[in-house]
């Protein structure tokens, strides 16, 4: 029973819950960025480059061949195409750069807020009159 109790305490810690929320939001954020890159950014870039779909950019190392059939009998089996799909890689790199930039901007905004809290002006020092009144109050307190 002790192991179950320890696990419950571990899961209920704030930092574990924060991490779980961050992972879920990060996954959703990644999906949004992937859609932004694939559906919004890359089509105009492909159009500027001459109606190129980046997903189709590749270097074919070996052409694929369809199977040659004689009815239900396979005479020559199919051969899959072997290619280096550099267009998908380019899209993934752009996706990574956009996610990295967004995270950088969020952290920069967070650091700005933290610095403002740290740089909050200290309360003004009491005037000479206030100091004197405080001393008189303390003296009267000590007499009683």
Please give the domain boundaries of the chain with CATH numbers for all domains: 2-122 (1.10.1200.120)
Quick check: pTM over 0.75?
no
Average of per-residue pLDDT across 54-59: 81
Closest by alpha carbon to 92, among 47, 57, 61? 57
| Cα separation of the two ends of the chain | 59
Q: How many angstroms separate the CA atoms of 42 and 34, rounded?
A: 11
Average of per-residue pLDDT across 58-72: 82
Average of per-residue pLDDT across 120-138: 85
Average of per-residue pLDDT across 108-124: 80
Model pLDDT, residue 14:
64
Q: Give me 93's structure tokens.
A: 């790199």
């Amino acid at each position: 029973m002790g192991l179950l109790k320890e696990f419950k305490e571990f899961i209920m810690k704030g930092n574990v819950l924060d991490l779980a929320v961050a992972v879920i939001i990060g996954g959703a954020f990644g999906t949004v960025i992937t859609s932004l890159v694939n559906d919004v950014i890359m089509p105009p870039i492909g159009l500027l480059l001459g109606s190129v779909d980046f997903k189709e950019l590749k270097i074919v190392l070996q052409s694929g061949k369809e199977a040659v059939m004689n009815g239900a009998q396979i005479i020559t089996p199919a051969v899959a195409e072997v290619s280096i799909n550099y267009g998908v890689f380019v899209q993934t790199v752009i996706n990574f750069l956009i996610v990295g930039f967004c995270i950088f901007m969020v952290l920069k905004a967070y650091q700005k807020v933290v610095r403002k809290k740290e740089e909050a002006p200290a309360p003004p020092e009491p005037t000479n009159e206030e100091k004197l009144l405080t001393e008189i109050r303390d003296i009267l307190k000590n007499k009683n």
